[in-house]
Each structure stands twice: as C-alpha cells, then as structure tokens.
Amino acid sequence: MTPLVLAAASAAALAALGVADPKRRRAAGLAPARPRHRSAALGALACCGLGIAASAGPAGAVTWAAAVAAGGWALAQGLALVPAPSWRSIATAGRFRSRPVPVALPVVALICALLAVEGRRGAPPDDAAADRVAALALLDRLERGAPARRAAAPCLAALASARDGGGLRDLLSDRAAAVVLPADGGAGTDLQRCILSAGGEGAATARGGDTATTTIDADTASRVHALIAGTLEDADALAALAPSGGTGAGLVCRRLAAAAGPDVAGFVAALRRDRAYPKAGDLLEGLPALEALIDARRARSPCPA
C-alpha cells in the first residue's frame, strides 16, 4: 500500500514540477513560479524516492527513478499539448490530431502494463505457484522433522493432562517449571518419555497423595521448549496453508494425511486448554480446516485439486 501512495505522490510532485516550470510559465505569459514552489516540488519528489527506497528496497528505488524519468518525459510532451498563448504560432486546432505519438504513448504504456501484469500472473512467485512452492517447502521440512516431532509428542501429551502450574506457558518461557500430574496414569509416563527425549536429566518427581509433581530445571525446560516450538511452528504453517483450499492444501492433503494426524491431535488439546503460544488463536482457527483435510483423506475423499 505504501509504495502505491508514494507512487501517486511522486506523480503529483512531478506534475507540480512541470506546471511550475519557469520557462513554460514565462512562455505562457504567466507570472514565474517562485523558486520555493519548484524547490517544494523537488523536495517532495526526493522524499517520495527516499520513502520508496525505505519501503520497497533497492529494486523499488531503481524502478521509481526509471518511472519518474519515463513519466517526466510523457508529462513534458503532454504539457506541450496545452495551448501556451505566447508561442509564435498557436494553431492548436488539429495539432492534437496530427501528433499521434503523445496520444498513443499512454495507451501503449497502459497495455504494456496490462501485458506485464499478465506475464506476472503466469510467473512463479504468484498465486497458485507460490502456494504450491510453500506447501512443498513445508512438507519437506515436516518430513525431515518427523523424529523431532515424535520426540515432542509425549511432552505435548503430558502437558495436555497437567492440572496445576503454568504447563505449556512455563515450558515455552524457558523457566524452571513444576508440572503436577495424576500419580497413576499415562501422563506421568509421557512426561518421563518427554524428559528422556530432551536429554533425560534435570528433572525430579515427588509423589504426594494422588498427584505427582515433576520439577524441571531451566535447561531441561528450554530443551523441551525447543522440541515443542518446532512442532508448533510446523502446525502453524500447516494450519495457515489448509484453509486456502488451493494447490497447497491439495498437496498437504495428499502427501501428509496420515503423518500429520497424531502430531496435530497431540497438541491441539494442550493448546485449547492453555493459550500460551503467541499464535494459538490463529492456529486454533486454522486447525479445523487442517483436520477437515486430514479427515477427508482418511475417508478417502478426493483432495482439493
């Protein structure tokens, strides 16, 4: 949006520069524009250039400079079509008709722009192609990250059943944590497996009544965090891709169906209970679409094309 606004402002500044051009005004019998008018227009133009350079990078700045030159040339031709009373011969009637080039130029430029936009549509970085490329990149990462996700799964399962303490929030903040779990049940085992995946040290469990409190030191917590974070990011990217329904979603559906299921299910519970992950809201919004894709695949329904 910013580059568009700056481009419009540049066009206005360029037009002001042309209108305030002293030679043109003198010829038209008008009072010469004050130097500060020109300076203001030039300054505005320079500011737009700096703004474009800051917002759109060097490519934007170079494009802007070339566009200003081309636009200035076209503008200068256009301004010459406006009658200026003091030129020696002013037969303007028919002049427009006999000078087709300035008329044709904007038309051709517009059509070239349309063509170029069209070429861009077929170009890789856009639309379906980009969606697909993103999906391929993500699938590749997920395939490589499968062992890490398997290691993280017991951590998520354990945290999902933790009753007290910060749970996920504590682990994601890399602080020492105390996780309270039922003394009898699978959650404790999950936590032990999680701690083992994270190196197997830095944790102690104290039993009291029907609960067991496992304290984890900061080092272990940050290792568990690292395990979980990767999975969260993958899930986040997957969930962002799924609702598009485009080629990316189709790829995810075809290539990841079974693999993503247990991983996703494992921490959906934790997330629903404890919105510690900064993007948990977005993720929860996207997850139903992802789950629907996976369910569709399990039911052998066709994936999106």
Partner 1 sequence: MIRLPAREHRRLVAIHGWTGVGLGLLLYVVVATGTVAVLAREIGAWSSGTLATRAPLSRALDAAVGRAIVDAPPGLRDTVDLSAAADDRLAVSLRGPAGPDARGIDLDVAPDGAVLRRRDGPAADIEDADPPGALAAFLVDLHVRLYVPAPWGYAVTGVAGLALLAAALSGFAIHRHLLKDIFTLRRGARPGLTARDRHNMAGAWALPFAVVLAVTGSVFSWSASAGFPALAWMSYGGDREALFAALAGPPPPADPTPAPRADLDAVMADAAARAGAAPTYVRLARPGRADARITVYAAPPAGALTGHTLVYDGASGTLLEDRRAFGRVASVGGTLYGLMAPLHFGDFAGPASKVAWAALGLCSCVATLGGIRLWLARRDDRASALLDRCTAIVGLGLPFATAGAAAGFFAGLPGGGGPGWTEAGFLAAAAAATVAGIALPRRRVGPALSAATGIGLALLPALRWAAGEPGWGAALAAGRLAVPSGDVAVLAIAAAFLWTAAPAAMRDRRPFRPGRAVP
Cβ distance to partner 1 smaller for residue 120 or 298:
120
| Binding segment (CB under 8 A) for partner 1, from list 15-23, 171-179, 191-199, 270-278 | 15-23
- Do strands 211-216 and 203-208 pair parallel, antiparallel, or not at all (unpaired)? antiparallel
Is there a contact between 243 and 289 (Cβ–Cβ < 8 Å)? yes
Q: How far is CA 89 from the centre of its chain?
A: 58
Q: Does 5 bind partner 1 (CB under 8 A)?
A: no
Q: Does 35 bind partner 1 (CB under 8 A)?
A: no
DSSP state of 243: G
| Contacts (Cβ under 8 Å, ≥6 apart) of 247 | 128, 131, 132, 135, 304, 305
Site for partner 1 in 119-148 (CB under 8 A): 119-125, 127-130, 132-134, 136-137, 139-141, 143
Tally the residues of the chain: 305
Site for partner 1 in 161-220 (CB under 8 A): none
Residue 136, token pair as written in the block: 């391929």
| Binding segment (CB under 8 A) for partner 1, from list 100-108, 214-222, 271-279, 288-296 | 100-108
Beta bridge partners of 177: 216
Q: What is the size of the binding site for partner 1 (CB under 8 A)? A: 73
Q: Does 98 bind partner 1 (CB under 8 A)?
A: yes
Separation CA 11–CA 5 (nearest Å): 10
Kindly state the smallest distance separating residue 102's Cβ from partner 1, in Å. Answer: 10
Identified binder of partner 1 from the candidate list 104, 196, 204, 226, rule CB under 8 A: 104
Beta bridge partners of 120: none
Cβ distance to partner 1 smaller for residue 225 or 255:
255
Kindly state the smallest distance separating residue 164's Cβ from partner 1, in Å. Answer: 40
Q: Does 93 bind partner 1 (CB under 8 A)?
A: no
Kindly state the smallest distance separating residue 12's Cβ from partner 1, in Å. Answer: 16
Q: Does 91 bind partner 1 (CB under 8 A)?
A: yes
- If DSSP codes are grouped into helix, strand and coil, which group holds residue 203? strand
Separation CA 290–CA 252 (nearest Å): 9
Site for partner 1 in 45-84 (CB under 8 A): 56-60, 62-63, 65-67, 69-70, 72-77, 79-81, 84
Q: How far is CA 200 from the centre of its chain?
A: 38
